Structure 1
């Protein structure tokens, strides 16, 4: 960060807030309006804080590597606008016009990283290459998708607008790691648009064209940057559609008869979608997931085992069978760790506090509702089924891949809003059922008194 960050950031903040106040009336109602600006503000705070932490605590990192690459494109624009535009839309191939610039860019041929560089370069051209303003642009893009995620949840459960706002916007890890110049910011925003598009187009079947377009744009971003997020999303989402369609069958007998068929159809569609998405990418080929996971986990574990932030989920040889064996530990470590006594730095303390909250809410849900009734409740509420399945599938993936809490806290942020939202929805349903039960009991007693009189 430099002097121009201090000079230009307030000016751009005024512009961004002006846009936000102008848009707010179109995307909020009387209940959600109060959360729009605070939610955007914590995203802006997270974006600036991430840059400060990386500069003064870590002494560098990926966020500055992205802006270093975007600076090359920004400088090229001063020499040759045509070269800079070519670099923004380049696909990693050699071009005589841009070669003197791209030869210095380590990520020029890395599609996932270069996608982030493209976005950062466009933001740099609009902000005089000011890091903090670029970070605010990333925060704004991320916020747009997360607001879409929030609207999707409250479309299903409007009375939960307060708690769902907490789940989506105000988890510290989510607005810190999901706001700055990082892949994670673009991905969690894209995931929000995919969720919005899928729900409105495939489940509600309303505003199908707009929902499909924004959903596909979000899916394209995930495919380009972190395809495994979309791979975790697809099977539970398709199963959700199957369950919804099954519920719309009026005949109970026919519904029960077709349910196994629909379930198999959903699982099969998810598998085919995953294999087709990764057909040309060996990194995510379904038959190589176990092998790639083992390599990544051992590498990250080895980097941090002497720093106290590594974790071990058990013996893992890279096979799918072994992946299934360690899955329970992977789920536990992703959702409920690090424990407070495992925290070694301020970032881990925040993550440990969030994990402790997840433990408490999960235990209280099962304690108050009962284990069997809780599982029946999950199975009978399609959106909750989706949220839990997505969280579990994603938790297995990041839990087995990370190997240390430092990367895990960043990798797992896409699952956190969905898991916490599911817990809040179940809590709301349980409380509503108890109130109805008490009301029915009161009505019954009143009826008995009236008959006795």
Structure 2
């Protein structure tokens, strides 16, 4: 192997990439404009459709630029380089290429397919392989341009999140402008969920799951399609980041249970049926999580301490050797009581750090400013709403679902990241739901919204 890793990662966003990306975005923009025009009369939130798409594409291209010229490597370029090799096979030998697209990681052998040795070493697990397959197809559509492939990734992420945003706006039509912040106006979220990354796809899938559940629960339409979307999105999340499902599925079932409970009229019937519903949903959640865990490989719940220790060691190493901002926790006791003790410190790390004094690189700077704003906004709501802050969380099922997800997922990523660069990516789902929950708490009037909505 004569080529160094630096030479392998040597990629430029030249005139071809930039111009082609602009052309692709213009084409997508034209379709988006006409789609918005067809929807806006019945869906007022579509006045923000182009803005949301634009923010995602800007985030994606910003990420691509930093990847090429600042980091000069990393997982993103590894995905793209390996995907380019697969794209070449698909073009030169379509039958073999299609065969590889449907090959599992266990049987994925490309020694005779002119894959670069670095790519062969990189494709070492099913999550990597799936993203390489997705990227290879988008790379062909994008005419072998890293810039256009990024635009397509950003657009895919946008569509899933937009569907969730649109349905949430139908539940809270007066707050469409404010809900936009959590989905499309938080810098770190649009930055880390718009490039060639697993996070881009998983965030889109989370959006589709939320959209589908709200279709079934609130709007009672497109039920069959929504069930299929939940299944497909869950499978993709399971392959790419199965630990997301450990929190997402129970929270979605809690959301469902809360909705069903509110549909039950009559005190006696409620007293009899509600405990039965809760027991059924707890049993269903346990069975689902057990089955997911059994097939999750390194993310098996029985291996959680080993996996977390591996994450902690690796991210700690990066913090020491690659000038990444690291952090430590005062305790790593994973017993139930130990985790309860750790909760305040871990949530502080996840949502309110890095502090401005902990900045060591440009990406961390964005996260630090966001953390300060989020901390001040949270304190403002607690101090001004007082008891109303917690009453809204308790009584409003949508806020309750978002808060449970944000706290649970925020805890998991907080105890596993150990550097703020990784944490910025991992915490995106929790951060999004926390911002959405705080936005609703801010906009809803407590005295009128202690409704079991």
Q: Structure 2 length normalisation: TM-score? A: 0.89
Match of 1:13 among 16, 25, 31: 25
CA 1:409–1:360: 2 relative to 1, 3 Å: same
Asked whether the equivalents of residues 91 and 111 of structure 1 are also in contact (C-alpha less than 8 Å), the reply is yes
Please, which moves more after superposition, 44-53 or 86-95? 86-95
| Gap change, CA 1:44 and 1:198, over 3 Å in 2 | same
Question: Bigger CA drift: 316-325 or 283-292?
Answer: 316-325
**8 Å contact kept, 2:89–2:113:** no
1:190–1:222 Cα contact (<8 Å) kept: yes
Residue 354 in 1 paired to residue 370 in 2?
yes
Paired residue for 2:55? 42
Inter-partner Cα distance in structure 2 for 1:83 and 1:97: 10
Deviates more, 1:277-286 or 1:381-390: 277-286
Cα distance between partner residues in 1 of 2:105 and 2:46: 44
**Shift of the alpha carbon at 1:131?**
0.5
Evaluate the alpha carbon distance shift between residue 21 and residue 432 of structure 1 in structure 2; reply closer, same or farther with a 3 A threshold: farther
Cα distance in 2 for partners of 1:271, 1:336 equals 32
- Residue deviations 1:198-231, cap 9 Å, x none? 1212454332112112222221211111111122
CA distance in 1, matches of 2:209, 2:56: 20
Q: Does the CA contact (< 8 Å) of 1:91 and 1:109 recur in 2? A: no
Is 1:112 the counterpart of 2:127? The answer is yes
CA distance in 2, matches of 1:313, 1:256: 43
Displacement of 1:96 in angstroms is 7.6
Give yes or no for contact 1:309–1:404 (8 Å, CA) kept in 2.
yes
- Distance of 1:219 and 1:34 partners within structure 2: 30
- Residues 250 and 93 of structure 1: CA distance in aligned 2, closer, same or farther (over 3 Å): closer
Tell me the secondary structure at the aligned position of residue 101 of structure 1.
coil
What do the CA deviations read for 1:152-200 (whole angstroms, capped 9, x no partner)? 2112111100100112111000111100111111110110001111121
Tell me whether 67-76 or 28-37 shows the greater mean CA deviation: 28-37
Look up the SS of the partner of 2:423 in the other structure: helix
* Aligned pairs (5 A) from 1:78-97: 78-94=91-107
Q: Contact conserved, 1:291 with 1:319, CA < 8 A, in 2?
A: no
Matched, 1:64 2:65: no
C-alpha distance 47-251 of structure 1, shift in aligned 2 (>3 A)? same
User: CA deviation digits over 1:123-168, x for unaligned, max 9?
Assistant: 1112221100000110111000110110121121111001001121
User: Can you give the 5+ residue segments of structure 1 that lack an aligned partner in the other structure?
Assistant: 435-453
Match of 1:437 in 2: none
Give the SS at the match of 2:135: helix
Displacement after TM superposition at 1:363 (Å): 1.2
- Whole-angstrom distance in 1 between the partners of 2:225 and 2:43: 24
Question: RMSD over aligned Cα, in angstroms?
Answer: 2.3
- Deviation per residue, 1:386-418 (Å, 9 max, x gap): 000000111011001100111101111112221
- Contact 1:246–1:255 at 8 Å: present in 2 too? yes
Moved more, 392-401 or 375-384: 375-384
| Counterpart position of 1:314 | 330
In 1, the alpha carbon distance for the partners of 2:72 and 2:314 equals 22
Question: What's the counterpart of residue 345 of structure 1?
Answer: 361
Distance of 1:425 and 1:167 partners within structure 2: 11
Paired residue for 2:281? Answer: 266
Query: Which range moves more in the overlay, 141-150 or 420-429?
Result: 420-429
Question: How far apart, in 2, do the equivalents of 1:296 and 1:320 lie?
Answer: 21
Aligned pairs, number: 433
Q: Larger C-alpha radius of gyration, 1 or 2?
A: 1
Distance in 1 of aligned mates of 2:324 and 2:109: 48
* CA distance 1:406–1:375, change in 2 (3 Å): same
User: Which residue in 1 is equivalent to 2:263?
Assistant: 248
For structure 2, list consecutive stretches of 5 or more residues without a partner in the other structure.
Answer: 1-12
Structure 1 window deviating more from structure 2 (376-385 vs 250-259): it is: 250-259
Match of 1:448 in 2: none
Runs of 4+ in structure 1 deviating by more than 6 angstroms, as ranges, are: 95-98
Aligned twin of 1:199: 214
Q: CA deviation at 1:98?
A: 6.8
CA distance in 2, matches of 1:349, 1:61: 20
- Equivalent position SS for 2:56: helix
In 1, Cα distance between equivalents of 2:278 and 2:434: 22
